[in-house]
Chain A
Amino acid sequence: KAGVTQTPRYLIKTRGQQVTLSCSPISGHRSVSWYQQTPGQGLQFLFEYFSETQRNKGNFPGRFSGRQFSNSRSEMNVSTLELGDSALYLCASSLEQGYDSPLHFGNGTRLTVT
């Protein structure tokens, strides 16, 4: 079974631009979560989607948004990019939403903002 697929793997953007990251979950998985990973802050929760609805949101500004489609694929958008948004963005999928459904991570998208 294919794992979580994230595209693109690498992105270089300029301050003020916007970016869209894509995530295809493991087949049959209905929940998708997004995390930001930086050396200083570790893995920080962005949001979780289940059945096309945002179920949970982390403490990030409104510039960070996402959505989930009917096939469970998800996209994350960051507008008005700042230098501090440079990070590894990880998407993870799980079978269901909830405490007993472990997350499985994709390889991530490395975003560099210059």
Chain B
Amino acid sequence: QKEVEQNSGPLSVPEGAIASLNCTYSDRGSQSFFWYRQYSGKSPELIMSIYSNGDKEDGRFTAQLNKASQYVSLLIRDSQPSDSATYLCAVYGNKLVFGAGTILRVKS
């Protein structure tokens, strides 16, 4: 079992829709959770961090954490073509471990 699992996609959504990205992790002791966005040929860019159960909103982005279910999600509202990228879920236990990423394609 991988430490951090994501559906590789691609996830295709129309412009203006809500994109929902999901991630599960295996280490119950994990303490912090991050979402990174990586455009093709670029390095990962931090977009959200979440440390406690519940929702955290930042602009069009909402991160959701459920530690009991070992599940993290990222919602992107009003998706734009510029949101097309690979989204990486990262989980910190004693080091930051990344999932393989979900490719998101927003079609105009």
Binding site for B on A (CB under 8 A): 33, 35, 42-43, 45, 48, 56, 58, 90, 99-100, 102-108
Name B's A-contacting residues (CB within 8 A).
31-32, 34, 36, 42-46, 49, 51, 88, 90, 92, 94-101
Minimum CB–CB distance for A42 against chain B, Å:
4
Q: Show 19 residue pairs from A and B whose CB-CB distance is below 8 angstroms, ordered by the A residue.
A: A42-B88, A42-B99, A42-B100, A42-B101, A43-B44, A43-B88, A45-B95, A45-B96, A48-B95, A56-B94, A56-B95, A90-B43, A99-B32, A100-B31, A100-B51, A103-B96, A104-B46, A105-B43, A107-B43
> A104 — which chain B residues lie within 8 A by C-beta?
46
Alpha-carbon distance A100/B1, docked complex (angstroms): 26
Q: Give chain B nearest CB distance to A32 CB in angstroms.
A: 12
**The 6 A-B residue pairs with the shortest CB-CB distance in the complex, in nearest-first order:** A99-B31, A43-B98, A99-B32, A105-B43, A42-B100, A99-B92
Whether A102 contacts B45 by the Cβ 8 Å rule is no
